[in-house]
Amino acid sequence: MILASICCVRESPIGRSEKIRVRVRVCFMDSVDNGERRFGTPDWIGLVWFDLGIGSEGVVWVWAKTSQLVSYLDNRRKVHKEAISFCQDILLQKHVDWEPVLRSNLSQPIRDVDLVITVGGDGTLLQASHFMDDLIPVLGVNSDPTQAEEVEEFSGEFDATRSTGYLCAATVGNFEQMLDNILEGQTGPCKLSRMSICVNSKLLSTYALNDVLIAHPCPATVSRFSFRITKDGQPCSPLVNCRSSGLRVSTAAGSTAAMLSAGGFAMPILSKDLQYMVREPISPGATNAALMHGVVKSDKSMDNVWFCKKGLVYIDGCHIVYSIKHGDTIELSSGAPVLKVFLPNHLSS
């Protein structure tokens, strides 16, 4: 079952007055995420019945209770698959050369292309961004947008929210027009700030487009760390010692995700600043309380020291994780190469 795809486009060195031929690499994500099957495929349903070890009456009961949910999930699968086929058909019509690559096979930097197209949601675009520098722009296609009436209809049964696609400028409805505008040079990408992460002064190879979470591997265990804001190696704020559930730091693009849900604020999408929040601080005291949530300006960095035996640094979710230990230093800044993204009109205007 296809869930997401990424296309890489390379324009041939010919005049714009001639027909444009481009090379595209299409990457598909399979139906397994973290070892678990996702969405309601028939084999998944059969597996559930088998694992439950229930008889035929039980199967009928499960089916009666879950038929609406299964139908919804199966529709999501079909809509997404149709979106991928639709985008492929459009690319075939546009004098482009394209090559399909599984999303799960993305392991090397994306090079020698002029455009990356992701078909899925923000998660697909995020994963592609980890293999991109500041030279190649990306266009996100939201393959399965949320339908407000559907969410309302099933609100009493389950969460019918589909893909948010906050950074996706296209859907199947306007993909062809967006692609034409890009190939003809009528629209340009915006430059989104990314975050660089240094552990013990060593720069990690992955830049964060959304956010970074530093926390103990066990969510029930207290995270102990200190932080301060610095500029050119000199302190700009007091040293803050924390006992909490961890530290989250977001870019402007990521400020509308987990940061906003935790009580942060949405930042202008093109801001180069970072926003940080200490998660569930334990008795911070009057002096430090105001420092539990704040902004790191683009010319400054946030220096952290980890004081637990074990810790993890999560980059843009749970898929990219680095281990840290007691005494390790973690420096966060917006000094990473930008990512060029074709944004929806309401964000880019």
Does residue 326 sit within a domain?
Answer: yes
Query: Distance of CA 252 to CAs 172, 265, 334, 337, Å?
Result: 27, 10, 10, 14
Residues 41 and 62 in one domain: yes
Residues 80 and 214 in one domain: no
Instruction: Give the end of a domain, one of 142, 157, 188.
Output: 188
Cβ count near 226 (within 10 Å)? 13
Q: Which amino acid is at 1?
A: M
Of the residues 188, 223, 246, the one at which a domain ends: 188
Last residue of a domain, one of 118, 153, 188: 188
117 and 205 together in one domain: no
Burial class of residue 274 (count of CB atoms within 10 Å of its CB; 0-12, 13-18, 19+):
buried
Rounded Cα gap, residues 214 and 341, in angstroms? 27
61/88 same-domain check: yes
For residue 249, is it within any domain? yes
* Non-local CB neighbours of 170 within 8 Å, separated by 6+ positions: 139, 140, 141, 142, 178, 179, 342
Specify whether 65 is located in the same domain as 109: yes
Output the pLDDT for position 10.
54
Query: 345 lies in a domain?
Result: no
Q: Do 54 and 23 fall within a single domain?
A: yes
Residues of the domain holding 154: 4-188
Judgement on whether residues 154 and 217 belong to the same structural domain of the protein: no
Instruction: Say whether both 200 and 248 belong to one domain.
Output: yes
Of 342, 1, 317, 344, which Cα lies nearest the Cα of 145? 344
Instruction: Find all residues with CB under 8 Å of 94, minimum gap 6, and list them.
Output: 20, 22, 179, 180, 183
Q: Is residue 288 part of a domain?
A: yes
Give the domain CATH number at 311: 2.60.200.30
For residue 10, being part of any structural domain is answered with: yes
**Helix (H), strand (E) counts: the chain:** 8, 22
| pLDDT in the model for residue 284 | 81
CA distance 84 to 72: 19
- CA quadruple 281, 287, 288, 290: dihedral sign: positive
Would you say the pTM of this structure is higher than 0.85? no
Q: Are residues 125 and 169 in the same domain?
A: yes
* DSSP 3-state of 240: strand
Number of folded domains that form the chain: 2
Q: What is the pLDDT along the chain (349 residues), one digit of tens a residue?
A: 223 555 665 554 433 333 334 444 443 333 333 333 333 333 333 333 333 344 444 544 445 456 778 888 888 999 999 999 999 999 999 888 777 767 778 889 999 999 999 999 999 999 999 999 999 999 999 999 999 999 998 888 889 999 999 999 999 999 999 999 999 999 999 999 999 999 999 999 999 999 999 999 999 999 999 999 999 999 999 999 999 999 999 999 999 999 999 999 999 999 999 999 999 999 888 778 899 999 999 999 999 999 999 999 999 999 899 999 999 999 999 999 999 999 998 898 6
CA distance 285 to 64: 54
Question: Would 341 be classed as within a structural domain?
Answer: no
Secondary structure (H, E, C), 283-295: CCHHHHHCCCEEE
What pLDDT, on a 0 to 100 scale, did the predictor assign at position 101?
Answer: 67
Per-residue DSSP letter, 232: T
Please indicate, yes or no, whether residues 236 and 300 belong to a single structural domain of this protein: yes
Query: Are 174 and 220 found together in one domain?
Result: no
SS3 17: coil
| CA dist., res. 227 & res. 110, Å (int) | 35
Whether 160 maps to a domain, the answer reads yes
348 assigned to some structural domain: no
Q: Residues 177, 201: one domain?
A: no
Question: Which residue from 198, 223, 194 is spatially nearest to 308, judged by alpha carbons?
Answer: 223
Phi then psi dihedrals of residue 281, to 5 deg: -65, 140
